[in-house]
């Protein structure tokens, strides 16, 4: 069975592995190369199992370890053309890397995994999420860094078996917190991040549509608390039975050892 490993997932750094000990794909490398390799090893996954790195966008918490990882391990990179160009211009990726363009709305096959990209509304030149269809025809999605759930996002995630969905902030903690006002405005905007409440509403739609594995991700270490995110999302799922209709996990900024089988 396929497994999603949210190795690191927060505003401090994001890196997720989809696959098994023999073959899989990384989504983002927003932590150091060493931390990514060590986290995989703690799950018994050698770095040689990584067939490609899919990049959602070019914010530091998604690419800070990419250059070293691509230079040392020569792993191909999959991203939208705009992001490949930005990373090349800013020396975020080893120049000798094998780079493959995958635009939002397109699909490609990599070994026995089908990868599709979908547009997400975020304050970058190009931002996307990814869905994956495994060899046993299971579907998983990584959907973070979006200010609002669009119809494009809904269509992309409809019917997935497993979804890693952003629950970035609690509105009260953000508004009353230490961030400067312009940054608060950015996070709250339609090109910012999803709140716990927004995430809960969307996840309830997914569960109604048949999604049975949910992981909350990209939590802010300053404007959220894992237990609060979980509690808020559960309120939206009150009509469903946990560990019956669905399973729910919460990824944190530090390596948590989560492995979500789907």
pLDDT score, position 253: 86
The phi and psi torsions of 22 (rounded to 5 degrees) equal -100, -35
The residues, ordered by sequence, that sit 6+ positions from 89 with a Cβ below 8 Å of its Cβ are: none
Tell me the pLDDT of the chain averaged across its residues: 97
255 pLDDT band, cuts 50/70/90, is confident
Residue spans of alpha helices (H) in the chain: 33-42, 60-63, 66-73, 81-89, 151-157, 171-175, 181-188, 196-208, 226-236
Give 87-103 pLDDT, tens digit per residue.
999 999 999 999 999 99
Please check the confidence at residue 118 and state whether its pLDDT lies above 90. yes
Residues 160-183, mean pLDDT to the nearest whole number: 97
> Which long-range contacts (C-beta less than 8 Å, at least 24 apart) are formed by 182-188?
186/123, 187/223, 188/147
The number of C-alpha atoms within 13 Å of 163 and in the hemisphere containing its C-beta is 26
pLDDT score, position 2: 86
With CA atoms as reference, report the closest residue to 246 among 165, 161, 144, 166.
161
Under DSSP, the state recorded for 49 is G
**What is the pTM for the complete model shown?**
0.96
Tokens for 198, please give them. Answer: 């927004």
Residues 170-197, mean pLDDT to the nearest whole number: 98
pLDDT score, position 256: 78
Per-residue b/e over 15-25, b at no fewer than 16 CB within 10 Å? Answer: bbbbbbeebbb
**What residue segments make up the domains of the chain, in order of their start?**
3-252
Which overall architecture, per CATH, does domain 3-252 show? 4-Layer Sandwich (3.60)
Q: Under the phi-then-psi rule, with left for phi > 0, alpha for psi from -120 to 50, and beta for the rest, what region is 157?
A: alpha
Could you tell me what percent of the chain has a pLDDT over 70?
100
Q: How far from each other are the two terminal CA atoms of the chain, in whole angstroms? A: 7
């Amino acid at each position: 069975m396929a497994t999603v490993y949210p190795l690191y997932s927060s505003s401090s750094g994001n890196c997720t592995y989809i696959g098994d000990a023999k073959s899989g794909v990384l989504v983002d490398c927003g932590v150091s190369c060493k931390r990514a390799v060590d986290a995989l090893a703690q799950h018994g996954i050698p770095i040689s199992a990584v067939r490609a790195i899919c990049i959602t966008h070019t914010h530091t918490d998604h690419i800070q370890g990419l250059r070293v990882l691509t230079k040392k391990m020569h792993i191909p990179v999959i991203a939208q053309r705009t992001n490949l160009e930005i990373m090349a211009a800013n020396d975020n990726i080893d120049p000798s890397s094998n780079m493959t363009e995958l635009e939002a709305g397109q699909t490609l096959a990599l070994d026995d995994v089908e990868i599709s990209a979908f547009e997400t509304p975020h304050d970058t030149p190009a931002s996307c999420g990814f869905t994956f269809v495994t060899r046993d025809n299971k579907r998983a999605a990584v959907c973070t860094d979006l200010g609002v759930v669009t119809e494009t996002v809904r269509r992309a995630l409809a019917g997935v078996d497993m979804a890693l969905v952003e629950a970035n902030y609690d509105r009260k903690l953000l508004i009353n917190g230490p961030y400067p006002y312009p940054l608060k405005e950015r996070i709250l905007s339609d090109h910012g991040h999803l709140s716990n409440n927004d995430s809960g509403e969307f996840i309830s739609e997914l569960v109604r549509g048949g999604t049975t594995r949910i992981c909350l991700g990209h939590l802010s270490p300053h404007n959220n608390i894992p237990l609060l995110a979980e509690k808020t999302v559960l309120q939206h799922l009150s009509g469903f039975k946990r560990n019956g209709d669905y399973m729910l996990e919460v990824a944190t900024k530090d390596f948590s050892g989560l492995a979500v089988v789907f």
